[in-house]
Chain A
Amino acid sequence: MEFWRLVWQVCLIGSMVAFAVMAIFTTIGGARDIRTLLQRLDDDSK
């Protein structure tokens, strides 16, 4: 049981840190991607 307990503790902490980092990148990069996408769709519709 101790083995699995340690595994899940590491998984939980590791995943949360990775998710926090990913959320920052995605928030910044996603805003830039939206601008590009709308520009492209605007050009296409013209």
Chain B
Amino acid sequence: MSELAREALSRTNFSIYDWGIVVAYLSVSLVIGLFVKRFAVSMTSYIGAGRGVGTWLGVATMTGTELGLITVMYSAEKGFNGGFAAFHIAALAGIVTLMVGLTGFVVVPLRKLKVLTIPEYYEQRFDRSTRILGGTILAFGGILNMGLFLKIGSMFIVGITGLPADGFALFAVMTILLVLVLVYTVLGGMVSVIITDYIQFVVLSFGLLLTTCLAISKLGWTNIFDTVGNRMGESGFNPLADGEFGPSYVVWMAITGLISCAVWPTAVARALSMKSTEALKRQYMWSSISFTIRFMIPYFWGICALVFFVTMAPELEGLFVASSEGGEAELSPLYAMPIFLGRLLPAGVIGVVSAAMIAAFMSTHDSYLLCWSSVITQDVVAPLKSEQMTANQRIRLTRIMIVVIGIFIWAWGLFYDGGDDVWDYMAITGAIYFTGAIPLLIGGLYWKRASTVGAKLSLLAGCSAVLGLEPLRVAVQNALQLPELTSAHVGLLTVGLTSTVFVIGSLAFPSEKQHDKTTTTEK
């Protein structure tokens, strides 16, 4: 790493007072998480908070979960690379979530069935083996999907605090953050997660709005838009123009917007925790704002970082650009936003914003860890066992799985080195599960001829989405000599494939008994 890069990373307004704010915040979260441990006595309260969550708490926990530090980081990277055109992803996410809230599409029928996890629905609608297969694929895709959370979140902490990026610091930050999250998630389960999510929401929303206002006042509203226009031209604003995005990418983002709110298990887990379907629909309508904001504000921060480097620190701009000989950029664009914030925010404020970002980090990790571990317990191990597992055995196994998954993401973050944008990595690893799950959820809930064979074929076909990961995608592209194959192309092709095999499998091999009770058209 050059002296310039080292200097860029180490120069920040982060002070000892800011460390104090961060440590105080982490301690409060930990104590509250431990305090509610006594409520985690049954599996329903441990992974579903006793299905007693009201609308506003539901909105807070949904926002806390889905607006993670990983979201802030990859979105800032998208904004830095794609300009305002990236806003289309935020707009689509908000519109789709609002539509789900207004219609109750997928989530209301699921809540009415009183299932705790999506694979549990697979068993009700199809059969037990579909639940086990679906649970296995879901856990695999989901855990892979959160594989980079820890590393990217730690990169933010390193970038904003000025810790050395090429030394021991990243490793140490990853380890400390992981241990903190593991402690309160393992002990308190969903009750602990929801209450800490609420506190994290309050800190996070304040931090997001304050930072955005400060960025605008520092760089100037008109200057931000003008600089992007001069730098990127039409493609900096129009998502359909040639550049970072394009029509197929926009369609892929509309699908991922629907998935994020109505099919993705961590979001659906919130829907299943709500105390009534009316509260659930209100939760989704309000959450459409946070589903927009969770992308839009970090995109804007990434754009502001670009404008800052172009107009106020041009000597640093070259650090994020690949050399003309095809070499890698000296610093990942992921560091652009934290470096920018480290110089923008004054001491004191930077501690609050860092605490807010750590809040975002923790609220996502706890929910994801709990979600995937409960799927493994409830939907893979328990159905495979011949004798019934007791509540205590299930809670113990879920806790063990939380720790195992935590260790995996720690190791994966250290060793995986793919070349995808983080968002594209997440979309494609998530697609391993959701491209297969879309037909099962939508077809299973709204089409009475959906069959078990069609369901299993769809789940298996969804695994082909793994070909969208950069190393595999490049290999396929070279082997088939295709002119262009993006992760969006692979994702869309997989959705087409899973839907086709689901319909053909269902028509060719109908189930022996129709599960009419779970088909909403029958109600």
Q: Tell yes or no: B36 within 8 A of A by CB.
A: yes
Find chain A residues with CB under 8 A from B195 CB: 34
Interface residue range, chain B: 35 or more
| Known A-B contacts A19-B205, A37-B57; A11 and B87 likewise in contact (beta carbons under 8 Å) | yes
Count the A-B residue pairs with Cβ separation under 8 angstroms: how many?
119
Please provide the chain B residues from 272 to 313 with a CB less than 8 Å away from any CB of chain A in the complex.
Answer: 286, 289-290, 292-293, 296-297, 300
Contact assessment for B238 and A41 in the assembled complex, using a CB-CB cutoff below 8 Å? no
Complex CA–CA separation, A8 to B87 (angstroms):
7
Find the residue from A8, A12, A22, A42 having the highest chain B CB count within 10 A. Answer: A8
Contact assessment for B56 and A30 in the assembled complex, using a CB-CB cutoff below 8 Å? yes
Complex CA–CA separation, A41 to B195 (angstroms):
13
Q: How far is the CB of B204 from chain A (nearest CB, A)?
A: 9
| Known A-B contacts A15-B296, A18-B289, A40-B52; A1 and B233 likewise in contact (beta carbons under 8 Å) | yes
Complex CA–CA separation, A12 to B391 (angstroms):
47
Find chain B residues with CB under 8 A from A23 CB: 201-202, 205-206, 209
Complex CA–CA separation, A12 to B63 (angstroms):
18
Complex CA–CA separation, A36 to B290 (angstroms):
24
Tell me the interface secondary structure of chain B in the complex: helix
Across the interface, name the chain A residue whose C-beta is closest to B49.
A37
Contact assessment for A16 and B54 in the assembled complex, using a CB-CB cutoff below 8 Å? no
Find chain A residues with CB under 8 A from B202 CB: 23, 27, 30
Contact assessment for A26 and B209 in the assembled complex, using a CB-CB cutoff below 8 Å? no
Contact assessment for B41 and A45 in the assembled complex, using a CB-CB cutoff below 8 Å? yes
Contact assessment for A34 and B91 in the assembled complex, using a CB-CB cutoff below 8 Å? no
Q: Which of B49, B60, B191, B237 contacts A26 (CB 8 A)?
A: B60
Please provide the chain B residues from 204 to 253 with a CB less than 8 Å away from any CB of chain A in the complex.
Answer: 205-206, 208-209, 212, 225, 229, 233-234, 237-238
Q: How far is the CB of B459 from chain A (nearest CB, A)?
A: 35
Please provide the chain B residues from 33 to 60 with a CB less than 8 Å away from any CB of chain A in the complex.
Answer: 36, 38-39, 41-42, 45, 49-50, 52-60
| Known A-B contacts A22-B289, A30-B60; A4 and B49 likewise in contact (beta carbons under 8 Å) | no
Contact assessment for B56 and A20 in the assembled complex, using a CB-CB cutoff below 8 Å? no
Contact assessment for B84 and A8 in the assembled complex, using a CB-CB cutoff below 8 Å? yes
Interface string of A23-40 (1 = CB under 8 A from B): 101111111111011101
Contact assessment for A25 and B56 in the assembled complex, using a CB-CB cutoff below 8 Å? yes
Q: Tell yes or no: B198 within 8 A of A by CB.
A: yes
Contact assessment for B38 and A45 in the assembled complex, using a CB-CB cutoff below 8 Å? yes
Contact assessment for A41 and B191 in the assembled complex, using a CB-CB cutoff below 8 Å? yes
Contact assessment for B50 and A41 in the assembled complex, using a CB-CB cutoff below 8 Å? yes
Contact assessment for A1 and B59 in the assembled complex, using a CB-CB cutoff below 8 Å? no
Q: How far is the CB of A39 from chain B (nearest CB, A)?
A: 9
Q: Tell yes or no: B94 within 8 A of A by CB.
A: yes
Interface string of B179-192 (1 = CB under 8 A from A): 00000000000010
Find chain A residues with CB under 8 A from B53 CB: 33, 37
Find chain A residues with CB under 8 A from B234 CB: 1
Complex CA–CA separation, A31 to B198 (angstroms):
8
Q: How far is the CB of B198 from chain A (nearest CB, A)?
A: 5
Find chain B residues with CB under 8 A from A44 CB: 42, 45, 50
Complex CA–CA separation, A12 to B55 (angstroms):
25
Complex CA–CA separation, A12 to B85 (angstroms):
12
Contact assessment for B229 and A33 in the assembled complex, using a CB-CB cutoff below 8 Å? no
Binding site for A on B (CB under 8 A): 36, 38-39, 41-42, 45, 49-50, 52-60, 63, 84-85, 87, 90-91, 94, 191, 194-195, 198, 201-202, 205-206, 208-209, 212, 225, 229, 233-234, 237-238, 286, 289-290, 292-293, 296-297, 300
Smallest CB-CB A-B distances: 4 pairs:
A29-B56, A33-B54, A33-B57, A4-B237
Please list 29 pairs of residues, one from A and one from B, whose beta carbons are closer than 8 Å in the complex, sorted by A's number.
A1-B229, A4-B84, A4-B238, A11-B90, A11-B91, A11-B292, A11-B296, A12-B300, A16-B209, A16-B293, A16-B297, A22-B59, A22-B286, A23-B201, A26-B59, A27-B60, A27-B202, A28-B56, A29-B56, A30-B56, A30-B201, A31-B198, A32-B54, A32-B56, A33-B53, A33-B56, A34-B198, A37-B57, A38-B36
Given A4-B237, A11-B296, A37-B191, 5 more contacts at CB 8 Å? A1-B238, A8-B84, A11-B292, A19-B289, A27-B201
